[in-house]
Amino acid sequence: MKITKRMLSSKGFIKNIILLVSGTLLAQSVSIISSPILTRIYSPEAFGELGVFTSITSIFSVFMCLRYELALVIPKEKEYALALLCLSFSICCLITGNVALFILYSQKNIFKSFKINNSCLFALLFLIYIFSSGIFSICNYWYTREGKFKYLANRQIVNTVLTIGIEIILSLFIAKNSGMGMILGYTLSLSITTLILFVNILKENYCDIKKITIKDIRKEAYKYREFPLFASWTALLNTLSFSLPSLMLSFFFNSNIVGYYSLAYKILDMPVSLVGGAVAQAFYPQINAQNTLEDKKNLTLKVVKTLLEIGLVPVILVGIAAPWIFTVFFGKEWVTTGYYARLLSLWILAVFVGSPVSNLYVTMNRQKEGLCVNIIMLIVRFLSLVIGGYSGQPMFAIALFGGAGAIMWIFNSTYIMSFVDIRPKEVKELFLSIIKRKIKYLIFPVVSLFINNYIVLLISILCGIWFLLDLVKNIRDDVK
């Protein structure tokens, strides 16, 4: 594999990715190590309750600032960025207040559909979480603007350690089949780490913030009006697509099924969060800085190629060996999760590659097209879950959803890349060339499926190590 020195053309860009990846890597390592402990402390039902909570909160979280926080990295003058910061914060407070009033009058009806217990505590934690999530989104893009990626990396580590620590401590006082301990862990850790980041922003910029007028805020709100008009709906639809499984599986089946799905998605999503998320965050300002269409095309192709090179083999190997991985590491009661992971693996790979380049909708000012595509994706995923749900077979529902998700994300990524003059034929040739080079790592695991169950796990691990050793060697060769 060749990851050339010209891969992203900017040393700063690569440094930012390394900082973000290193922070996320440490955080994910802690999460992986703790997962076998948590799966033995909490039941699938508890994981299901957490899955419903995170699904509902993620839907609201994308709307908390109406996506104005995305614009924080665009203005070159700091005073305009601070006006956007004030605007985003005000909107976050206003929306939180309105959601609180809505929940106050319709709490029982909302949570009854998803079979939620302790609805009052659930509602309180829900409000704290979505407000904290909105403020963190502001902090995230402000620190990205300022190039303070080290702060974001450290925050990720602290947040993960806090979450797991609180979950383990609360397990001593809360029943195994209750997800409230895990929900408290997620909410408190997010609130604490976000407060630290936001207070730091206020300390550094308080004097400048005091100079911001309502006129300045209105001016920036109008200038970036396309973010709430299009980007916010696009983000909402995309989040709905990811949240739909937990909510609809809860509606059609029970919390155990949601728990199996939630753990499968959590484990598979780790590479997306680790590498894909870091690349997306660093890619956004970098692609925005490219002056010509040709430069944007080259940067996009290099990012897609690198993500495919890195992600293809690990995701497929995990998909092949998933049932035995989950049985060995998480306990026998989680074997179903392994089969769910296998069915979702291709979808996760498509998201891993396509998610970073989806920023082109914003940088190329194509939010309208992004909205239309996300509506189509949401409808397809919704229909796949409805058909699967009415079949009464959870496995069929997951398979249908995973397949539909993979197809739609491939379509989405191909369409996005056309904005920078990358044709479908180029994408196809790129994918096939990578498959030819990586097939050697996948032949033996596939063949082992016909031999013996745990042989599959052993061979997949060995091939994974082989792949990683080659990856490290190639990176070292490219750096020299």
Residues 6+ apart with CB under 8 A from 129: 53, 57, 61, 186, 187, 190, 191
Percent of the chain predicted with pLDDT > 90: 28
pLDDT average, residue stretch 299-319: 85
pLDDT at position 9 is: 45
Question: What tokens appear for 118 in the block?
Answer: 């302790």
> Is 416 within 8 Å of 360 (Cβ atoms)?
yes
CB distance 137 to 193 below 8 Å: no
In tens, the pLDDT along 392-430 reads 999 999 999 999 999 999 998 888 888 888 888 888 888
| 191-197 long-range Cβ contacts below 8 angstroms, 24+ apart | 191/128, 191/129, 191/132, 192/162, 193/136, 193/155, 193/158, 193/159, 193/162, 194/132, 194/133, 194/135, 194/136, 194/139, 195/132, 196/155, 197/136, 197/139, 197/143, 197/151, 197/155
Q: Would you say 317 and 445 are in contact if contact means Cβ atoms under 8 Å apart? A: yes
Mean pLDDT along residues 325-336: 88
Is 301 within 8 Å of 430 (Cβ atoms)? yes
Mean pLDDT of 339-343: 93
Q: What is the pLDDT of residues 77-136, one digit of tens each?
A: 889 999 999 999 999 999 999 999 888 877 556 665 556 666 778 888 999 999 999 999
Average pLDDT, the chain: 84
Q: What is the pLDDT of residue 189?
A: 95
Contact 279, 307 (CB under 8 A): yes
Give Cβ neighbours of residue 439 (< 8 Å, ≥ 6 apart): none
Q: Tell me the pLDDT band of 197, cut-offs 50, 70 and 90.
A: very high
Which pLDDT does position 6 carry in this prediction?
37
3-state secondary structure 410-478: HHHHHHHHHHHCCCHHHHHHHHHHHHHHHHHHCHHHHHHCCCCHHHHHHHHHHHHHHHHHHHHHHHHHH
**What confidence tier does 271 reach under pLDDT thresholds 50, 70, 90?**
low
Per-residue pLDDT reduced to its tens digit, 428-454? 888 888 888 889 999 988 888 887 677
* Secondary structure of the chain as H, E, C letters: CCCCCCCCCCHHHHHHHHHHHHHHHHHHHHHHHHHHHHHHHCCHHHHHHHHHHHHHHHHHHCCCCCCHHHHHHCCCCHHHHHHHHHHHHHHHHHHHHHHHHHHHHHHHHHHHCCCCCCHHHHHHHHHHHHHHHHHHHHHHHHHHHHCCHHHHHHHHHHHHHHHHHHHHHHCCCCCCCCCHHHHHHHHHHHHHHHHHHHHHHHHHHHHHHHCCCHHHHHHHHHHCCHHHHHHHHHHHHHHHHHHHHHHHHHHHCCHHHHHHHHHHHHHHHHHHHHHHHHHHHHHHHHHHHCCCHHHHHHHHHHHHHHHHHHHHHHHHHHHHHHHHHHHHHHCHHHHHHHHHHHHHHHHHHHHHHHHHHCCHHHHCCCHHHHHHHHHHHHHHHHHHHHHHHHHCCHHHHHHHHHHHHHHHHHHHHHHHHHHHCCCHHHHHHHHHHHHHHHHHHCHHHHHHCCCCHHHHHHHHHHHHHHHHHHHHHHHHHHHC
| Residue-wise pLDDT tens digits, 355-390 | 878 877 877 777 778 878 888 888 998 999 999 999
Residue 349: closest CA among 311, 305, 319, 318: 311
Does the pLDDT value for residue 480 go beyond 60?
no
Predicted confidence band at 288 (pLDDT cuts at 50, 70, 90)?
low
